[in-house]
Chains A and B, each alone.
Chain A
Amino acid sequence: EPEVTQTPSHQVTQMGQEVILRCVPISNHLYFYWYRQILGQKVEFLVSFYNNEISEKSEIFDDQFSVERPDGSNFTLKIRSTKLEDSAMYFCASKLGTGGGTDTQYFGPGTRLTVL
């Protein structure tokens, strides 16, 4: 069964450094998402991406964040200058996109980002 994959599973970085989190969505899916979960808190929506552009973003997704689909398979989340409060589990998701809000989103296993 196709699945969403994410690398790395755990990333440790120093405050102020740039990080890139990578995701490979399911190959025929059209919509892509990033979510994050700070320890002890709810999973929060960050951004959705369709047709090579951001379709929606949350207040969390400020200028320090960017997303890209550099080729036909990868979907990346870049944090330009990490802060301590960026430490969280980051989930990538994708969906086929033909069913609107009823479509199932498929999630990757997550990348745990630790900012020191």
Chain B
Amino acid sequence: GNSVTQMEGPVTLSEEAFLTINCTYTATGYPSLFWYVQYPGEGLQLLLKATKADDKGSNKGFEATYRKETTSFHLEKGSVQVSDSAVYFCLLGDSWGKLQFGAGTQVVVTP
């Protein structure tokens, strides 16, 4: 079946550092890939998505490229802020819309 593997956290960074969160997947068919973010005390919010191979999703300075050859969808941001402290989830959606979650990675950005 489909699955998502995401790097474990917590990841602790200083402000303005470069952030990468690795995400790899196994899937049949042509899944969509998503990154969601959960800020403290809030629900899951879509950060970005990509629906086919080589698509790049981007939002709020974050980027991720759907790489079919490496079955990956790594999240990157060039310069993090304290306000980026949150839990980040990598998700895979099958053609019916059923979502498979990664474990979530907590990111802590210090001033």
Contact = CB atoms under 8 A, between A and B. Distances in A.
A45 to B, nearest CB: 6
B43 A45 contact: no
B45 to A, nearest CB: 7
Contact of B97 (A31, A44, A106): A31
Contacts of B97: 31, 48, 95, 97, 100-101, 103, 105
Interface residues of B, number: 26
Contacts of B62: none
A58 to B, nearest CB: 9
A102 B93 contact: yes
Interface in A84-116: 91, 93, 95, 97, 100-110
Interface string A20-44: 0000000000010101000000111
Contacts of B99: 33, 35, 45, 93, 105
A19 interface: no
Interface in A25-73: 31, 33, 35, 42-45, 48, 55-56
B8 to A, nearest CB: 12
Contacts, number: 62
Contacts of B25: none
Contacts of B44: 91, 107
Contact of A107 (B45, B100, B102, B103): B45
B98 A108 contact: no
B93 A91 contact: no
Contacts of A105: 46, 93, 97, 99
23 contacts: A33-B99, A42-B102, A43-B89, A43-B101, A44-B101, A45-B98, A48-B97, A100-B95, A100-B96, A100-B97, A101-B30, A101-B32, A101-B51, A101-B93, A102-B32, A102-B51, A104-B34, A105-B46, A105-B97, A107-B36, A107-B43, A107-B44, A110-B43
